[in-house]
Amino acid sequence: MPDSWRLALGTLTVLRVPPPRAVTPVVAGRAMLLAPLAVLPLGLVVAVVGLVGARLELPPLVVALLAVGALAAGSRALHWDGLSDVVDGLTASYDPARSLEVMKSGTSGPAGVVATVVVLGVQAAALAPLLTTARGALVAGLLVCVSRAALGWCCLRGVPGARPDGLGAAYVGTVGPLPAAAVWLVAALLLTLTAGWSGLLAAVLAALVVAALLHRVVRRLGGVTGDVLGAAVELSLAALLVGVLVGGPPSGGVG
């Protein structure tokens, strides 16, 4: 278990931790299941940015953009890079090999840039009303953690890898369906307890978005890559934020 914690923290955050002694399929799978807990520091950062911004009476959208920026910095913008690469690959060609080559190049094309701007805009716009209250800021931090549960679904056994190399290769097929479902159910329960029925709706919406992404990349690319894992995180967070706002932002003043 210590190796899984180190792998999760070292991969998903900028925290400096000793490297795992070995990255076996068991270690990698547990790291993906621990992902929501591993990013608790990032969720806390988002909540603190919201609370401080509200105290200073900054414009909500400014606070939200600062929170998104802090979150990107705290994860080395790794997931944003994945989202951009996946969209570029899917729009570059109908040939899987060509699409994977585009994704591997690491450069951002027009489609990737547009996707990044749109998803970032959705996240910031949805965060803005949440970060105006203390309760909303705490919910926002929780959503950051819950979004990382998407990694377990991407690494399910039976979901193939698109290529044998790359960052995601060590994680492909390492998570069992029951543990992945358990993590998501616990996350959905926490969201329901903190945000009401809109929290449950948010969890369902995020699950549908991740399922749609996996269906698309398996059909078009032949499987998942490390970039797909990153894309799943950012799309999941956007879906969670939109879903939780359906019933209105959680109330509760900053004090």
* φ/ψ (deg, to 5) at 39: -100, 15
**What are the Cα distances from residue 215, in Å, to 44, 154, 232, 233?**
32, 10, 12, 16
Q: What local confidence, expressed as pLDDT, does residue 1 receive?
A: 65
Q: Which residues pair with 156 in a beta bridge?
A: 175
Tokens standing for residue 195 = 């945000």
Structure confidence at residue 251 (pLDDT): 63
25: its two tokens = 């399929």
- Quote the pLDDT of residue 20: 87
- Which residues, including other chains, have CB under 8 Å from residue 217's CB and lie 6 or more apart? 86, 90, 162, 223, 224, 225, 228
Q: What is the pTM of this model?
A: 0.94
Q: What is the pLDDT along the chain (255 residues), one digit of tens a residue?
A: 688 999 999 999 999 888 888 889 999 999 999 999 999 999 999 999 999 999 999 999 999 999 999 999 999 999 999 999 999 999 987 888 898 898 888 778 899 999 999 999 999 999 999 999 999 999 999 999 999 999 999 999 999 998 888 778 889 999 999 999 999 999 999 999 999 899 999 999 999 999 999 999 999 999 999 999 999 999 999 999 999 998 776 665 544
**Beta strand segments in the chain, E:** none
Q: What is the 3-state secondary structure (H, E, C) of 110-158?
A: HHHHHHHHHHHHHHHHHHHHHCCCHHHHHHHHHHHHHHCCHHHHHCECC
